[in-house]
Structures are given as structure tokens and as C-alpha cells.
């Protein structure tokens, strides 16, 4: 049975909203991770994204069975793979060794990585392939709407 998100129960687990990202970096990865972090902490947007993911991934599946990768992990990995144009081997290396990515995935703790969660290559391939272009377009539409709402709130009207 898939869950939306499985909280890391280790005492030294880093919460997703507390992940420190490099705001001065010119690379696109920290900006992508900041966007994913925003999706996670914004309740309305979080609900919209998970509703789309559940509709497509959970459709026609039983609510019982062994736990799979959470919807959040699938979403984050798919977004990183698509936006960074990574192959599955590079994605596996990133999700297993990049501290900020592991933090956004919700599996990072302050312990050494060998004690933490390890993503197998075939598991990544099997789960990310569940997201098709249709669901990504629907999620993108929700994200664009949210971006317009944020921009509308911060835009100042010109004075004449």
C-alpha cells in the first residue's frame, strides 16, 4: 500500500521544511529543491499534487499489500530526473549521496549514509515509470496556478 509520505522516525531525522538549501547557488538544483520544499509545506498545493498522484498511481490498485515507495519520493525523483535531464544511474547516485536531495525526499538523517535508506536502481525505474506525461501536465497546471497566486499577492500596483 502506498502512502503519500512516510515520516522518517529516526531521532536525528531532518524534517523536509528544515532542509537548508544554498540560496546563493547559480545551479538549477537548489532552485528545484526549493520549489519542491514549497510544494511540501503549502497545504493547498500539497493536497492538489497528491490528489493528482493518487488518481494516476493508485487507480485500480488494492489498498493492501507491501508498502512501496511513497508518492512524495516518486514525485521528487521524477521532478529531479526530468528537470536535471538525468539518466536513472545518475539519479540513483544523486538520491543516495546528495544531502539536500535526501533531505527533500525525507530520508536524510545526520548519521552516515550507510545506516540510512538506500534506493536500488530497479526500484527507482519501476516507480518513476508510473508517472506518465498526462499526470505531469496536470500537476504542472496546478503549479502554474499556484505561481500566479503567489505572484498576484506580491505584485504592487503602480502609482500614477
Amino acid 1: pLDDT: 47
Q: Which long-range contacts (CB under 8 A, 24 or more apart) does 111-117 make?
A: 111/10, 111/12
pLDDT tens column, 47-80 = 999 999 988 887 767 665 556 788 999 999 999 9
Average pLDDT of the segment spanning 87-112: 87
Task: Give the C-alpha distances (Å, rounded to integers) separating 4 from 48, 88, 157.
Answer: 12, 23, 39
Positive or negative: CA dihedral 138, 139, 144, 146 = positive
Write out pLDDT tens, residues 105-144.
988 766 654 456 889 999 999 999 989 888 888 998 988 8
Q: Which three cell numbers stand for residue 30?
A: 537548489
Our CA angle for 80, 87, 131, nearest 5°, is: 55
Instruction: For the chain, give every domain's residue range.
Output: 26-140
Q: Is 71 exposed, middle or buried (0-12, 13-18, 19+ CB in 10 A)?
A: buried
Give the whole-angstrom CA distance, residue 58 versus residue 74.
13
Q: For residues 159 and 155, what is the distance between their CA atoms, to the nearest angstrom?
A: 13
pLDDT value at residue 59 = 75
Contact 101, 37 (CB under 8 A): no
Q: What is the pTM assigned to this prediction?
A: 0.82
CA distance 30 to 10: 25
Amino acid at each position: 500500500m502506498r502512502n503519500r509520505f512516510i515520516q522518517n522516525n529516526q531521532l536525528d531525522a531532518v524534517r523536509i521544511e528544515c532542509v537548508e538549501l544554498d540560496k546563493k547557488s547559480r545551479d538549477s538544483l537548489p532552485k528545484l529543491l526549493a520549489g519542491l520544499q514549497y510544494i511540501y509545506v503549502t497545504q493547498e498545493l500539497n493536497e492538489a499534487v497528491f490528489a493528482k498522484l493518487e488518481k494516476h498511481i493508485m487507480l485500480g490498485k488494492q489498498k493492501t499489500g507491501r508498502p512501496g515507495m511513497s508518492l512524495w519520493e516518486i514525485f521528487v525523483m521524477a521532478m529531479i530526473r526530468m528537470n536535471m535531464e538525468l539518466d536513472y544511474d545518475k539519479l540513483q547516485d544523486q538520491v543516495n549521496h546528495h544531502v539536500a536531495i535526501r533531505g527533500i525526499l525525507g530520508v536524510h538523517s545526520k548519521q552516515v549514509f550507510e545506516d540510512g535508506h538506500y534506493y536500488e536502481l530497479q526500484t527507482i525505474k519501476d516507480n518513476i515509470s508510473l508517472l506518465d506525461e498526462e499526470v505531469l501536465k496536470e500537476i504542472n497546471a496546478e503549479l502554474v496556478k499556484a505561481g500566479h497566486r503567489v505572484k498576484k499577492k506580491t505584485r504592487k500596483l503602480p502609482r500614477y
